Amino acid sequence: MEACRFRALMVVCFFFFFFPLEGSVRRYNFNVVMKQASRLCSTKPIVTVNGQFPGPTLYAREGDTVLVRVVNHVKYNISIHWHGIRQLRTGWADGPAYITQCPIQPGQNYVYNFTITGQRGTLFWHAHILWLRATVHGAIVILPSVGVPYPFLEPDVEQVVILGEWWKSDTEAVINEALKSGLAPNVSDAHTINGHIGPIPGCQTQGGFQLSVENGKSYMLRIINAALNEELFFKIAGHLFTVLIIQVFGLCIAIWKSTQVGG
């Protein structure tokens, strides 16, 4: 009995010293539900995760296992893709409908189960069927393992900034029309920052996205382009900012430590 306990302790220590990246398990519930949303003086039902647009941010540390239970409460088949996550031996958790899985049918659910290995930074998740990703998307923030610092000075504040597009029409109608005609889909009616389109004269809106800042503090923006069909350019009027890291498909493609970008 004693020997057994000792051996168990040794095994625990072994793992502790030699596998410091062994992470914890993060559990998320994604309920796919319809939600009435008003923008540009008009209201339409949109498909969302947990009634949020953009959807919830998924936080994890490098080495963590992520379990996302997706429950489909809408009339569409759905699947969720974890954009840029390297699915090592978990291809069935990748998400593209009809490629790595059958879509989750109305009333059904599916648990995505994957481990984040050798990656950190800002990625995003989105629906991977039809055009549902127009409103079914959100950030993935992967922090370094416990005790591992950022490769730059720790910012005072972090903020996810998701750039998106908004159509007054139902987005499924927009893509269906394009598929039928063979022409390009209609251009969106507005751009959004974290779901906000900004003040429109004569419309009841929630205004634009606002981030209050304090002079002298550093702010790290985790900027995501979740637009379906457009390249977007980002500036902060009247300010300079430093580009820390650019990530494409989860790969870090460039780091500038001192370049300042004009606004």
CB 47 within 8 A of CB 67: no
- Stretch of 1-9, 12-20, 143-151, 166-174 lying at the interface with ligand NAG (CB under 6 A): 166-174
* Least distance CB 26 / ligand NAG (angstroms): 12
- Stretch of 46-54, 79-87, 192-200, 248-256 lying at the interface with Cu ion (CB under 5 A): 79-87
Peptide bond into 149 cis (omega under 30): no
Considering only 33, 37, 67, 190, the residue that binds ligand NAG (CB under 6 A) is 67
How many alpha carbons fall within 13 Å on the CB side of residue 55? 30
77 binding ligand NAG? (CB under 6 A): yes
Three-state SS across 56-97?
A: CCEEEECCCEEEEEEEECCCCCECEEEECCCCCCCHHHCCCE
CB 152 within 8 A of CB 111: no
* Least distance CB 249 / Cu ion (angstroms): 8
- Residue 102 near which of Cu ion, ligand NAG, none (CB within 5-8 Å, type-dependent): ligand NAG
Cβ neighbours of 159 (radius 10 Å): 14
- Pseudo-torsion of CA 201, 234, 129, 118, nearest 10°? -150
254 binding ligand NAG? (CB under 6 A): no
Considering only 173, 203, 246, 251, the residue that binds ligand NAG (CB under 6 A) is 173
Element (H, E) at 31: strand 25-39
* Least distance CB 119 / ligand NAG (angstroms): 18
Site for ligand NAG (CB under 6 A): how many residues? 12
Return the residue nearest Cu ion (CB atom). Answer: 83
Cβ neighbours of 202 (radius 10 Å): 6
Closer residue to ligand NAG (CB): 122 or 188: 188
* Least distance CB 122 / ligand NAG (angstroms): 24
Instruction: Using CB atoms within 10 Å of the CB of residue 114, give its burial: 0 to 12 exposed, 13 to 18 middle, 19+ buried.
Output: buried
> What tokens were used for 61?
């540390």
- Stretch of 3-11, 105-113, 143-151, 210-218 lying at the interface with ligand NAG (CB under 6 A): 105-113
Considering only 24, 169, 218, 242, the residue that binds ligand NAG (CB under 6 A) is 169
- Stretch of 18-26, 80-88, 182-190, 224-232 lying at the interface with Cu ion (CB under 5 A): 80-88
Q: Report the greatest alpha carbon distance in the chain.
A: 77
Give the binding site for Cu ion (CB under 5 A). Answer: 81, 83
Give the binding site for ligand NAG (CB under 6 A). Answer: 67, 77, 102-103, 105, 111, 113, 169, 173-174, 177, 186
